[in-house]
Amino acid sequence: MCASNTGQAAVLRSALRKIGYAALVVLVVTFGVSLMLSLAPGSVAETILGENATPENVALLNKELGYDRPFIVQYLDWLSHAVRGDLGVSPITHLPVTEAILQRLPVTLELAVLALVLSLVIAVPLAIVSAARAGSALDRGISAATSVFLSVPAFVAGPVLIYFFAVQLRVFPALGWVPIEDGLGANLAAAFLPALAAALVEIAAFHRVLRADLIGTLREDFVAAARAKGLSPSYVMFRHAFRPSSFSLLTISALSLARLIGGTIIVETLFVLPGIGQLIANAVLQRDVVTVQGVVAFIAVTFVVVNMIVDVSYGLIDPRLRRAPAARKIARGRSRTVKPVQKKELTA
Amino acid sequence: MSEGLLLEVENLHAYIGSPRGVVKAVDGVSFTLGRGEALGIVGESGSGKSVMARAVMGLMPPRSGRTGTLRFDGRDLLGLGRKQLEQIWGTQIAMVFQDPGRSLSPVVRVERQLTEGMRRHLGVSKSEASSRALRLLNEVGVPDPERRLRAYPHELSGGMRQRVMIAVALACEPELLIADEPTTALDVTIQRQVLDLLRRIQRERRMSLMLISHDLHVVAGQTDRVAVMYAGRMAETGASRTVFDHPRHRYSNALLAATPSIEHVRHASLNVIPGALPSPTDPPEGCRFAARCTAATVECTTTQPPMAPIGIDHEVACFHPVHEKEGELVGR
């Protein structure tokens, strides 16, 4: 009714502003990381030449690689290539960084998506049961169990999982990666334990957030009104209560996904998986500045893009947020409790 | 009324657990509601009228309890399990809530909110349910109903939302409609329309109506009988006209006097009832209004006055009821 030109202009303005912010975030992150790397002692030349290299040789190699230039010149040089998709060549592996990332991306991506799906598949039903019986022994038991998952770090959960599933039960391989081309079954079997190890930590957070939001929603009048129609509690839960309660869950699961794509260093190292996490871990140890910069830029872009997708998808959950971009602020504010949103009326 | 009683409430108690103790929201209330009758329940905020509505419905919050007798159409409602209650909700007893901005699901289109109850209870096909939904929106005076069916609640005005909510409540043709402050959240100009709509539908469908409000003036014009509640107890019941014109309980009288009306403009200040509601967790002995009552005696603070007939279809729980003449002076 009031979708006028000013409305469309506002949408465009807000989209441009968002892209601007996103670019700024990536810029600040890559600059900060580059600065820290340049301040850190040691250099890639020392790694290449070995412990016995003379300072003269190290200085020579550094000059050859361009590391003798002022920091800001180095950064701007890197940036001008990076915006064109060229993240440089690793002086150690002599492989373009872009290629190294793309090589390892399928592993990390599969691991991340699988971990997210696993944690949601476990956490969402638990949260629904908890919220439906809030305060009961069952609810307290579930909360206690997920807290245990939260407080067990991956480097403990990983070996425990390996011990039970790989050593004792022998249902999953202990380590290593099987590419998807070598068979989906073998691939999934290899990915399952690392994904579960990465998922355990997420389960507690997902359970808590969704449980709290569901309990808030279940107190709303519209839930009582739906019950007053004689609809069953489970129907009301899924049809009326779940969607308005899933804002926080969407937000934090997107952040989890972005974090997982950034590489779960511990899990990848534990299970010996050739993913992004291992790439950056090795690069840091070898002072491979080019690779670190490239991976960091990639992770920053991933975060920013995932966040933008989340922003857009709020509207899919709640029709009230489809109109104005300003309404998304409501979604952010709503993330804890569901409050009545728009008092504005379209028709008298 | 001639067809007998639909709802009999006897000595109903509804308690709710809270961090500060057990709230005795409804503490021994009895009343009856005839078939096709409109009953108004009046009381200020905190008098327990909303909890009573929910207690009759059976929609109580967690950590709460009900005792007493609740007979609906001859069946004991308190003895029913969840599944049996779900069979009654919507088809026998339906409810309209205070704020339609909060009682309609924000993420579900109007059409589904109207049809989901019908589909469950009446087993009608999807297209049949849709055409019924359309007729319902027509009946409650929603213009352009085809378009409104596809709308989300936030796309409607407050008055329209409450009309939709009423249509939702009517969907499975209930015998009793409980309307809990249905106009409090609406613009003043819309309130009258919604009240008139409720009354019209109640008469057309020969349905029973329980209209809850804090405003005795609102209720008196729209109901056959009225019950005044104070601090979880009944103060006065009777024919609406009688209670409105000749309130006999000191509280009903004060409530009417506290409402500004056109005749009051020359007064310098509004009449207020001094004091506040007694503690809901630890109510005083005797009459609960005693502390705020101008006519209270020692007896009032020690003994709970029982409900006693004072006229034709008129009962009052007061040791020192207002004289009819006196009431006329203040109540008008």
- With 0-12 CB in 10 A as exposed, 13-18 as middle and 19+ as buried, what is A117? middle
For B138, the enclosing helix (H) or strand (E) is: helix B126-139
User: Quick one: what percent of chain A has pLDDT higher than 70?
Assistant: 90
* Interface pTM, i.e. ipTM: 0.87
Helices A71-82 and A289-317 meet at what angle, rounded to 10? Answer: 50
Residue A71: which pLDDT band, with cuts at 50, 70 and 90?
confident
Q: CA-to-CA distance for A49 and B307, rounded, in angstroms?
A: 101
Of A230, A240, A347, which is closest to B105 when you measure between CB atoms?
A240
The reply to whether B177 touches chain A by the CB within 8 Å rule is no
Chain B hits for A233, CB-CB cut-off 8 Å, are: 82
B172: closest chain A residue by CA: A229
CB contact at 8 A, B258 and B271:
yes
* pLDDT at residue B290 tops 50: yes
For range A205-229, the mean pLDDT: 93
Could you give the 3-state DSSP secondary structure of residue B20? Answer: coil
Adjacency order of strands within the sheet including B308-311: B93-96, B176-180, B208-213, B38-42, B225-230, B233-239, B314-316, B308-311
Chain A hits for B101, CB-CB cut-off 8 Å, are: 340, 343
Please state, rounded to an integer, the average pLDDT across all residues of chain B.
Answer: 88
* pLDDT at residue B199 tops 90: yes
Chain B hits for A130, CB-CB cut-off 8 Å, are: none
Half-sphere exposure of A336 (CA within 13 A, CB side): 1
Chain B hits for A240, CB-CB cut-off 8 Å, are: 105, 107-108
For residue A219, what is the DSSP state?
T
Enumerate chain A positions whose Cβ falls within 8 A of a Cβ in B.
134-135, 220-222, 224-233, 235, 239-240, 243-244, 317-320, 340-343, 345-348
Contact A225 B95 (CB under 8 A): yes
Chain A hits for B94, CB-CB cut-off 8 Å, are: 228-229
CATH class of A97-334: mainly alpha
Task: Quote the pLDDT of residue A341.
Answer: 37
User: Quick one: what percent of chain A has pLDDT higher than 90?
Assistant: 22
Helices A97-132 and A137-151 meet at what angle, rounded to 10? Answer: 160
Chain B hits for A341, CB-CB cut-off 8 Å, are: 106, 154
Domains, in order of start, for chain B: 5-92+174-331 (3.40.50.300)
In this structure, the strands spanning B176-180 and B208-213 are: parallel
The reply to whether B158 touches chain A by the CB within 8 Å rule is yes
Half-sphere exposure of B34 (CA within 13 A, CB side): 13
Q: CA-to-CA distance for A67 and A86, rounded, in angstroms?
A: 18
Could you give the 3-state DSSP secondary structure of residue A276? Answer: helix
For range A41-68, the mean pLDDT: 78
The reply to whether B19 touches chain A by the CB within 8 Å rule is no
Inter-CA distances, B320 with A38, B281, B299, B332, Å = 91, 26, 10, 20
Residues of chain A with CATH 1.10.3720.10: 97-334
User: The tokens of A258 are what?
Assistant: 């972005």
Which of A184-198, A264-278, B150-164 has the highest mean predicted lDDT (pLDDT)? B150-164
Interface test with B, best of A215, A222, A235 (most B CBs within 10 A): A222
Residues 6+ away with beta carbon under 8 Å from A38: A71, A74, A289
